[in-house]
Amino acid sequence: MEFPVIVDAQYCSPSEMKLTIAKKVLEYNNGNFVITDSEGHTLFKLDQKKVFLRELTVVRDDGDCPVVSIHKKKISLHDTYQVYKGESWTELFTVWDKNMRDAAELTYEIQLEADSEPAFQVKGDFVRRNYEIIFKGASIAAEVAKKHFSLTSMITGKSNYGVLVSPNVDQAFVAAVVTIMEAIHNENKEKHGGKHSD
């Protein structure tokens, strides 16, 4: 099954990629949320220490160019996240929670702008950062887990986790989805008094 290019073909690799999400990083990175490759090079970043999505959050590349913009919309009882290319109004995809239950048990659906129904689902244990992005109910586009971070990333802080991105999957798309999941989890943690540990 072929994965679609969602943000840009430049973010697709013919081989499997290991990305690392570093949250509590040393001062040289200004304490920002960064997504690196296995060598520790920054691929994507947010200019903020904690990942909270307000009306607009921009994910940038290492050269500070906008990759995607995430708009959070309150629709009925649940939040919907619309993702646009760069800082434009070209919509790429929308993310929403499917069953509006406890945050740890949620399934999220992702619908690409050109499609009439969701192509991706995000399922797993969000509290423990152990979940999968699944394409058309069958192919794993990316697997997020504590176990997937590289040794080089261990020096950057204790709250790291990793993402194993399948070949030909758009890494900027994965970065946007991981950022949204991180924000939802952070907001739920704040609402419930920060009881979950990292």
Q: What is the pLDDT of residue 137?
A: 92
Q: Are 148 and 128 spatial neighbours (Cβ–Cβ below 8 Å)? A: no
Q: Please give the pLDDT value at position 135.
A: 97
Mean pLDDT of the chain: 80
Residue 78 pLDDT exceeds 50: yes
Domain count, the chain: 1
- Kindly report the CATH number assigned to the domain that includes residue 97: 2.40.160.200
What pLDDT is recorded for position 105?
Answer: 59
Residue 198 has a pLDDT of: 41
Separation of alpha carbons 128 and 118, rounded Å: 25
Q: What is the pTM of this model?
A: 0.84
Is residue 8 over pLDDT 50? yes
Residue 79: which domain range?
9-191
3 domain-assigned: no
pLDDT greater than 90 at residue 77: no
- CA–CA gap between residue 44 and residue 173 (Å, rounded): 11
Predicted pLDDT at 54: 63
> What tens digit of pLDDT does each residue of 31-66 get?
467 898 888 888 998 865 555 556 678 899 999 999
pLDDT at 165 over 80: yes
Band (197; pLDDT cuts 50, 70, 90): very low
Residue 80 is assigned to a structural domain of this protein: yes
Q: Is the pLDDT of residue 143 over 60?
A: yes
pLDDT tens digits, 81-133 = 999 999 999 999 999 887 655 555 578 999 999 999 999 999 998 878 889 99
- The answer to whether residue 4 is domain-embedded is no
Domain-embedded: residue 196: no
- State yes or no: pLDDT of 167 exceeds 50: yes
Query: Is residue 145 in some structural domain?
Result: yes
Q: Which residue has the higher pLDDT, 41 or 155?
A: 41
